[in-house]
Amino acid sequence: MKLRDYQIEIATEACDRLVRLGIVYLAMEVRTGKTLTALETAKLYGAKRVLFTTKKKAISSIESDYKELGYQYELVVVNNESMHKVEGDFDLVISDEHHRVGGAFPKPNKVAKYMKDRFAGVPMIFLSGTPTPEGYSQIYHQFWVSSFTPFSKWSNFYKWAKDFVDIYQVDYGYGKTNRYERARKYLIDPIVSPYFIYYSQKQSGFVSEVNETVLYCPMSKMVDDMIVKLKRDRVLQGKDELVLADTPVKLMSKVHQLCSGTIKFESGNAMTVDKSKAYFIANRFAGVKIAIFYKFKQELECLKSVYGEKLTDDIDEFNSDPNKCIALQIVSGREGISLAAATYLVYYNIDFSALSYWQSRDRLTTMQRATNDVFWVFSEGGIEEKVYKTVLDKKDYTLNKFERDYV
């Protein structure tokens, strides 16, 4: 493995900023080599012991890149949730998909709190192709985790928001609540821009083309009847289980589940009521190595019941076995992993998030593969197509949209 010229150039610039500022943020688009660039930056920085935090499914890939490049510093790679188990001191921390670590607001998440306390005074490299997917209010805690934050004057988000956010209130029926997502980008950019290095696929010499095909799967009459009854009565009563849709949010979730053939009960148990989609995918892509994105946990169980031993949810097993297909939950699988070993990407279901759509469909892209074939499997007349048209327009599918479409 050899780094590309632009990756070495970015690493050199990143090292300089790391020395001067204590933080550098590599905002490099998917498949441009954030990981390789960060590892090279650590070498140029002269780090002796480096902590690389990421998602569990990406660990083996990062360790493989590190070994293949032959770096001499010690590298410890852990998933974010296991960061508290790490022992010893580090002279550099690399935080992968950092918007997931520090992007929460108005309060920081548990991982961000731990990172701030545990690695006080340690220089940091942040990585993300989408640093602020839900708006610039996500900036504050991403830098807050570091002792070198440019926002040290503001000790918490609420104080920061008074200067950098247009705060407004919404009445949800139980009192007014402050909303903080309208950050003033024009005020924030001049402060954080020295820390960021942006790099696009186009700059790196390739632009991926995604060919999308929508396929329609007829579901059983039982599923259609259950949806009609649930919308009318807001409840489905079985012999031992109950499905309750007594709020619009619950109704939206239950309809979403049923359109792909599964349902979760009030007890917490779940079951498959129709395997049509799983059989449709297995037959349509028979003999083809595919990656499947699903939404709900029970959908994975449904797929496993149809595919048997031919399906895995382990990325290493998928990459090493030419006869294995893989199924991943769309939110956990949309970042930090490559599905380039797959011939096609197939969606069993769709997420309401526009971010999930735009990030997940790029998982096949590599420098050597500029064209990706993506297939969406929608139930005939189901909610999925309405969601698809919304996220395609870079908007989330919200409760208001659901009520307009279904209620």
Q: What per-residue string of b and e applies to 76-100 under the rule 16 or more CB within 10 Å gives b?
A: ebbbbeebeeeeeebbbbbbbbbbb
Q: Encode the chain (407 residues) as per-residue pLDDT tens digits.
A: 889 999 999 999 999 999 999 999 999 988 889 999 999 999 999 999 999 999 888 899 999 999 999 999 999 999 999 999 999 999 999 999 999 899 999 999 999 999 999 999 999 999 999 899 888 999 999 999 999 999 999 999 999 999 999 999 988 777 889 999 999 999 999 999 999 999 998 898 877 788 999 999 999 999 999 999 999 999 999 888 999 999 999 999 999 999 999 999 999 999 999 999 999 999 999 999 999 999 999 999 999 999 999 999 999 999 999 999 999 999 888 887 889 899 999 999 999 998 888 888 878 877 667 788 999 999 999 999 999 999 999 889 999 899 888 76
Sheet holding 49-54, edge to edge: 74-79, 49-54, 92-95, 124-127, 23-28, 196-199
322: which 2 tokens? 């030419």
3-state secondary structure 209-269: EEEEEEEEECCCHHHHHHHHHHHHHCEEECCCCEEECCCHHHHHHHHHHHHCCEEECCCCC
The pLDDT score that the predictor gives to residue 45 is 98
The pLDDT score that the predictor gives to residue 407 is 65
Contact 52, 330 (CB under 8 A): no
Q: How many CB atoms lie within 10 A of CB 272?
A: 18
Amino acid, res. 206: F
pTM of the predicted model as reported, rounded to 2 decimal places: 0.79
Pairing status of strand 176-179 against strand 168-171 = antiparallel
The pLDDT score that the predictor gives to residue 367 is 66
Instruction: Give helix 157-164 / helix 185-192 axis angle, nearest 10°.
Output: 120
Whole-angstrom distance, CA of residue 22 vs CA of residue 190: 17
Whole-angstrom distance, CA of residue 286 vs CA of residue 288: 6
Q: Please report, for residues 120, 275, 400, the alpha-carbon distance to residue 383 in angstroms, rounded to integers and kept in the order given.
A: 47, 17, 14
The pLDDT score that the predictor gives to residue 176 is 87
The neighbouring-strand residues paired with 292 are: 327, 346
- Residue 220 makes CB contacts below 8 A (sequence gap 6+) with 273, 274, 276
- DSSP code string of 375-386: EEEEETT-SHHH
Our CA dihedral for 148, 152, 156, 159, rounded to 10 degrees, sits at -150
Domains annotated for the chain, with CATH where assigned, are 5-204 (3.40.50.10810), 209-406 (3.40.50.300)
Q: Which helix (H) or strand (E) holds 6?
A: helix 5-21
Q: For residue 111, which of 122, 99, 121 has the smallest C-alpha distance?
A: 99
- Phi-psi domain of 47 (left: phi exceeds 0; alpha: psi -120 through 50; beta: other): beta
The pLDDT score that the predictor gives to residue 149 is 98
Burial grade of 152 (CB within 10 A; 0-12, 13-18, 19 or more): exposed
Q: For residue 203, which of 4, 3, 15 has the smallest C-alpha distance?
A: 4
Whole-angstrom distance, CA of residue 287 vs CA of residue 401: 38
